[in-house]
Amino acid sequence: MTEPVLDRLTALFEADRDPSRAAAMRAYMRDQFDFLGIMSPRQRELARRAVAGTARPTEAALLALADACWARPEREYQYFACDQLRRHARVLSPDALPVVRRLITTKPWWDTVDVLAARVVGPMVTRDRVLVAAMDDWIDDDALWVVRTALLHQLFYKRDTDADRLFRYCTRQAGHTDFFIRKAIGWALREYAKTDPDAVRSYVAATSLSGLSRREALKNL
């Protein structure tokens, strides 16, 4: 799967390259990544054409494709890989988690990490509960983006959220000084508040959180 799909995608992306838009996109992302200058709706259209007619990928093929996309300098390739991982997350076994962790910590920023956290790691943990122990390790990891992933992996669990674990994770990182961790704490709590607002109110009232985390958690309450 990897080479034919990536070859087709490359041809399609290159034909749509827009240097002026790429410069604006690079500036928006604080000059951390190069871009082709392809907007999201067009990226999705070209991605559909690149994978048209292909069978569902195996785990090995999917991870190889992701690695190949991560090796490309332009960010649109990483977006494509994230979307493919999200779409085919069901083929990922617990053995894939170290590879996903490597993607999270390579060229990391919120735009890829949040998709991998909530749409890839989250479903993996739901399907294979053995990975809960990995999340318990990740919440204390030295890598900021791994911690953020642990905080956000339950983001869309709704009534299936392990609230005790969510609150425990937020408490463990409540004193973290980084914006992206404080924001993730608030976001995770705000999302769970849609399911159990009283539990979130009680937790926030009883917990010493940063102002940012508190504001985010209570934004819709």
Same structural domain, 214 and 175: yes
Is position 195 within any domain?
A: yes
Q: Examine residue 36 and state whether it is found in any structural domain, yes or no.
A: yes
Token pair 């990391």: residue = 108
Last residue of a domain, one of 74, 91, 108: 91
Please check whether residues 40 and 82 belong to one and the same domain: yes
Instruction: Tell me the per-residue pLDDT of 18-58, one tens digit each, with 9 for 90 and over.
Output: 999 999 999 999 999 999 999 999 999 999 999 999 999 99
State how far the alpha carbon of 87 is from the alpha carbons of 1, 3, 57, 127, 128, in Å: 15, 19, 10, 15, 17
The reported pLDDT for the residue numbered 2 is 80
Claim to verify: residue 139 and residue 78 sit in the same structural domain: no
Instruction: Please answer whether residues 124 and 98 qualify as being in contact, where contact means their C-beta atoms are separated by less than 8 angstroms.
Output: no
Tokens of 122: 């989250």
| Residues in a beta bridge with 74 | 34
- CB atoms inside a 10 Å sphere around CB 15: 9
What pTM was computed for the model? 0.96
Give me the pLDDT at residue 131, please. Answer: 98
Q: Where in the sequence is the domain holding 206, given as residue range(s)?
A: 118-221
Share the mean pLDDT of the chain: 97
* Domain shared by 124 and 66, yes or no: no
Counted domains in the chain: 2
- DSSP secondary structure string, 195-218? T-HHHHHHHHHHS---HHHHHHHH
| Predicted local confidence at residue 73, as pLDDT | 97
In this prediction, residues 87-99 reach a mean pLDDT of 98
Angle (CA) 96-170-156 rounded to 5° is: 55
Q: Do 138 and 64 belong to one domain? A: no
Burial class (CB in 10 A: 0-12, 13-18, 19+), 118: buried
Residue 197 lies inside a defined structural domain of this protein: yes
d(CA 44, CA 37): 13
Based on the domain organization, do 123 and 220 belong to the same domain? yes
Residue 210 Rama label (left phi>0; alpha psi -120 to 50; beta): beta
Q: Is residue 77 part of a domain?
A: yes
Taking only the tens place, the pLDDT of each residue in 116-171 is: 999 999 999 999 999 999 999 999 999 999 999 999 999 999 999 999 999 999 99
Residue 97: inside a domain: no
What is the DSSP secondary structure assignment for residue 106, as one 8-state letter? S
3-state helix vs strand vs coil in the chain, percent to 5? 70, 0, 25
User: Can you tell me the distance from the alpha carbon of 113 to that of 46, in angstroms, rounded to the nearest whole number?
Assistant: 22
Q: Residue 1: its pLDDT value, please?
A: 67
Q: What is the CATH number of the domain that holds 34?
A: 1.25.10.90
Within a domain: 109 = no
Is 49 in the same domain as 140?
no
Residue 104 lies in a domain: no
